[in-house]
Amino acid sequence: MHVRDNAPENADRFPVENRVGRPVISGRFDAVTRRFLAALALLGTLAGCAEQDEGPPLLRWYVFDEQSGAFAGAARRCTEAARGRYRIEMAALPSDADQQREQLVRRLAAADPDIDLIGMDVIWTGEFAEAGWVLPWPDKAAERARAGRLASAIDSATHAGRLWAAPFTTNTQLLWYRGDRMTASPKTWDEMFALAERLGERGAIQAQGERYEGLTVFFVSLLASAGGSVLAPDGLSVSLEEAPTRRALEVMRRLAHSPAADPALSNAREDQTRLAFETGKPSFMLNYTYVWPSAHANVPELARQMRWARWPAVIAGRPSRVTLGGVNLAVGAHSRHPDLAFEAATCLAAEPNQRQAATLGGLPPTIAALYDDAEVRATFPFADLLRETLRDAVQRPQTPLNADVSLAISHTLHPMRDIDPVADVARLRKAVGRALRSEGLL
């Protein structure tokens, strides 16, 4: 991540004594000194102007450190397409979403003008909008940013009826399984448990159980699949209806106590589940689409046996609803060049760049038509299933207090072995209610 040295850049904003460590001498010499310093300041200003005149305005794009080069390629193409109006420089954020948010929040809260463009996790929309850290998209630009996008992706970038980011990449989990060990995929969790237990040591189910955002995602997907929601439609009060919440908790507890559970479930994140599946021992994995190119690169023999299916249903006959992920493009509220930043974000989120993010980086597009694109379908042979799942996807709790709500859920439900499906309904309601009221530290 690019971090500026604020001392030299902001030196002219502070009294002389703050810079040199002692007061300036008074009297006639003081006046001479002041004129000398003024001359230096003028020279510095002229040098700064000359520096700016050397090239077009610089827009810094803060986004996670995407390894395939797809994002860097998008920045390069949009810089070339701008024909001198602006240039885009990437500032890499950590791969962990919590660390990304922490770094951005500190800088945005300090009104840092260095942040022009933000690769914004879908769960930050309400928080960043309410805090005044990002700018709402102007009507015409918003209309272009919505055009042809999946409805779920648009919803993830919307708060209080306004668009705050351009839908860029999206994602959701599928069920991955070993086609050489079964003739068909399980349609429900009950079917998967039964099949996994029949397979014995080869029947392990890989899922995310560590106390972090992934555990919240797991619960929200189960809850929505059971017909429930964390918050009421107004986003201001707790829902967590008794029957669907208890059903979701029963699945989580059953997984944790099943012989099909990985012994390391309570410490498992997406990458741990991917690596475990690539050993060849497990038969099932709940994970994002990046596991497909990973398996082909790391264990091609296993990849030939990998199959995909929709996330298992919690209730037979009711299709599963899986939590949405992805990255949207927002404009920092304190950017020196907001108009150019909106133009650049529109370019970055355009079809050619979404295609490359999909084919090179394995990141599903938000433009619906790209799921029929030959290059994208070659990368994602499961494109139809992925589009279907994304159309039915569920948003994580849409509230500016999402971070606190997520902590309340993951802390209450970890470890999954200790879940009490009856008592924990009330515990969850209490914890989420406290989060919504900003009571206490989670």
Confidence of residue 96 (pLDDT cuts 50, 70, 90): confident
Q: Is 367 strand, coil or helix?
A: strand
Q: How far apart are CA 86 and CA 343, in angstroms?
A: 10
pLDDT in tens, 159-214: 999 999 999 999 999 999 999 999 999 999 999 999 999 999 999 999 999 999 99
- Higher local confidence (pLDDT), 7 or 256: 256
The pLDDT value given to residue 54 = 73
**Nearest of 250, 249, 279, 273 to residue 261 by alpha carbon:** 273
Query: Is 58-170+325-391 a domain of CATH 3.90.1720.10?
Result: no
Better-predicted residue by pLDDT, 219 or 10: 219
Residue 340 in this model has a pLDDT that exceeds 70: yes
Q: What is the pLDDT of residue 265?
A: 98
Burial of 256 (0-12, 13-18, 19+ CB in 10 A): middle
Which residue type is seen at 58? L
Q: Residue 64 — left, alpha, or beta (φ > 0 → left; ψ -120 to 50 → alpha)?
A: beta
35 falls in which pLDDT band (50, 70, 90)?
very low
Q: Residues 119-165: pLDDT tens digits?
A: 999 999 999 999 999 999 999 999 999 999 999 999 999 999 999 99
Peptide bond into 381 cis (omega under 30): no
Query: From the CB of residue 236, how many other CB atoms can be counted at a distance below 10 Å?
Result: 10
CA distance 255 to 276: 17
Query: Looking at the predicted structure, is the pLDDT value of residue 51 above 80?
Result: no
Strands 58-64 and 87-93, bridge-based pairing? parallel
d(CA 356, CA 70): 6
pLDDT band at residue 32 under the 50/70/90 scheme: very low
Confidence band of 95 (pLDDT split at 50, 70, 90): confident
Instruction: Look up residue 417 and give its two tokens.
Output: 């072995």
Lowest mean pLDDT segment, chosen from 27-31, 101-105, 348-352, 417-421: 27-31
Q: Hey, what amino acid is at 125?
A: T
Q: What is the pLDDT of residue 89?
A: 98
Please tell me the chain's helix, strand, coil percentages from 3-state DSSP, rounded to the nearest 5: 50, 15, 35
* 369 vs 147: CA distance, rounded Å: 11
pLDDT at position 440: 59
Within 10 angstroms of residue 76's Cβ, the number of other Cβ atoms is 14
- Distance, CA of 309 to CA of 73 (rounded, Å): 32
What percentage of the chain carries pLDDT values higher than 70? 87
Mean pLDDT (the chain) is: 89
Cα–Cα distances (Å) from 307 to 178, 202, 253, 439, in that order, read 6, 16, 26, 45
Pairing of strands 117-121, 58-64: parallel
State residue 9's pLDDT score.
35
What pLDDT score does 31 carry?
43
- CATH number assigned to the domain covering 174-323+401-436: 3.40.190.10
What pLDDT does 182 receive? 96
Say how many C-beta atoms besides its own lie within 10 A of residue 77's C-beta.
17
pLDDT at 82 over 70: yes
* Phi–psi pair at 4, nearest 5 degrees: -85, 150
pLDDT digits (tens, 9 = 90+) for 369-410: 999 999 999 999 999 999 999 999 999 999 999 999 999 999
Q: What pLDDT sits at residue 410?
A: 97
Beta-carbon contacts of residue 6 (< 8 Å; ≥ 6 apart) = none
